Chains A and B, each alone.
Chain A
């Protein structure tokens, strides 16, 4: 049984004053499932992740968690890992101390948490820069540190907001593989927001399109590929699934114009 939590969002709405940021989003995610969300800029993808992470109260509707055995679950301090679109590193902490922060807040002993942080940075291909300050990193490096921080507690739910946006193609492919194996190892449930359709297809069990602005969440498209690597990317299934997602997205543009 996967460690990941199942998530049930029912008619979730979020408003900022008069602005409707998220409109009647309903989505059921199985424990350990990998779901990607693609959609228009400003459609409410970040808002949906923040609502799932408990950072933003819903205006109406509900979001509930349950374990693989079906029992209701209230996420604890280590259960959710959130990699924000802007990185959000503490500028006064070194890379290593930033990654260790979630464990530090949990009261994990210094040696142990630094080891965990170091190992996670290594997996993010960020071994050599532990002692640098965030201001000394490139945008892509910062995102990788943020990702390491989101992963360091081995969360049951992983929320990733466009983590690969500012990476070069080679690093991006390497990190996609790394992410996939990390998620599989830990059995976490993952929700990835991305603009890259190919990335969404190759990584996910299902892809959901958030259509329009404010977005309305379309029924998620199930993805089945022969394999989730370079070979998978070359398969016929990959190409046709990308086309299906693209079609769904384009439909969203037509309806919003």
Chain B
């Protein structure tokens, strides 16, 4: 308990100081609200628009979580397949690397064409940006499997699947968890960017759409509120993934085991 307090306190203090400086700055220089609204104003507007914002947050969260889940599944499976076969790896990994360079904003219109407006497209967008770190970390983990431990499985004539499930996958978990933590943050970014292009307007509009439409109406305060909430989604997802990772590794891996 004391530990969490001492780690939480400094960043919270810094945050409060920054917000106070922002609030004072806006009032002293009398900045127009469409240029830079004060934190307090943002909070008030957010409160007024809470139902719309929360609905948007839910949509964005669904896209991010769904896309992330899909990315973890696809990333671990393809990473494992590539890790199991040198030949596959030589053929496909460079392509995966190249695909990763394609900017998401450029693909988003294609997703709309294929999947239509709405959750399916935004989920796909989140998934696409989140896949690579999971795939790369899985592949890394698979390739790093201790050859000495492989011999244990060889002595007892273990099959491919048993070797993967009982050796390569658990051995790769620390690496996969790290990849997933990166992917969690990216998934939210992917979802919001996807929503810019393919989000569905209306009273269920996701945060990406709230941001774009508020911008058009010069409601900078709402833009800030929506950005803040999407950051919260990212933070939450990251926290959940880190927690799950810790649970998985706590009994054996140095990153999670605590001396006592």
Contact = CB atoms under 8 A, between A and B. Distances in A.
Interface of A is mostly: loop
A91 B252 contact: yes
B148, B152, B162, B170: most-surrounded residue (chain A CB, <10 A): B152
Nearest to B248: A92
B149 A88 contact: yes
Contacts, number: 59
Interface string A42-58: 00000000100111000
A55 B154 CA distance: 7
Interface string A88-101: 10111000000001
Given A92-B170, A92-B251, A92-B252, A86 B148 contact: yes
A78 interface: yes
A54 B153 CA distance: 12
Contacts of B257: 135
A76 interface: yes
A112 interface: no
B251 A133 contact: yes
A84 B148 contact: yes
Tell me whether chain B's interface is mostly helix, strand or loop, or mixed: helix
A134 to B, nearest CB: 8
Interface string B138-160: 00000000101101111111100
B156 A102 contact: yes
Residue in B153, B157, B158, B166 whose Cβ sees the most chain A Cβ within 10 Å = B157
Given A50-B151, A90-B152, 7 more contacts: A53-B155, A77-B158, A82-B151, A86-B148, A90-B149, A90-B167, A101-B156
Interface residues of B, number: 21
A80 B152 contact: no
A105 B167 CA distance: 11
Contacts of A80: 155
B156 A105 contact: yes
B148 A105 contact: no
12 contacts: A54-B155, A55-B151, A55-B154, A82-B151, A86-B148, A88-B149, A90-B152, A92-B251, A101-B156, A102-B156, A104-B166, A106-B156
